Amino acid sequence: MSTVRESVEVEVPLHAAYNQWTQFTEFPRFMEGVDQVTQVDDRHNHWSTSIAGVQREFDTEIVDQLPDERIAWRTTSGDVQQRGMVSFRRVDETHTEVKLTMDYEPTGVAEKAADMTGTVDRRIRGDLHRFKDFIERRGEEEGGWRGRISPS
């Protein structure tokens, strides 16, 4: 497994950054290669991606979600193997640190090469910066889910 760790500081209050991140169906607006995210229920999402000409579909399960603090997930089906967590830390009244850690298993020659050359790290860094631009342009979240999902 490979691990990516990236963070970005966004100029919005903690609750706004967290609430916007819970709007999974909006991820294609700032995540490169994500075509669609369908929220099945509070815990489950179905993803459709196109990265470097490779189309994939997979399902994820949220395994831990604590409002204004963290969201952790893992894949449950498809040929994508990953788990990760995004955490939120209040810097001050109007700034929040968003930190993403993801473990993934590259499959195939192209994905292994992308992993070795740092392409995956750069993509995730780019996604976080696009999230920053997205939420800062709006100045507020488009919605939010504040439920608690406890680890099993």
Q: What is the pLDDT of residues 133-142, one digit of tens each?
A: 999 999 889 9
- Residue 123: closest CA among 95, 107, 139, 104: 104
Query: What is the side-by-side order of every strand in the sheet holding 34-39?
Result: 2-10, 95-105, 81-92, 70-77, 54-66, 44-51, 34-39
Alpha helices (H) in 61-118, listed in sequence order: 108-116
Those residues with Cβ within 8 angstroms of residue 116's Cβ, 6 or more apart along the chain or in another chain: none
pLDDT at 108: 74
Average pLDDT over residues 27-51: 96
Domain 2-138 classification at class level = alpha beta
Residue 11 pLDDT level (bands cut at 50, 70, 90): very high
Q: Give me the residue label for tokens 């640190």.
A: 97
What three-state secondary structure class fits 142?
A: coil
Average pLDDT over residues 142-151: 93
Average pLDDT over residues 2-21: 97
Biggest CA-to-CA distance, the chain: 45
Global pTM value: 0.93
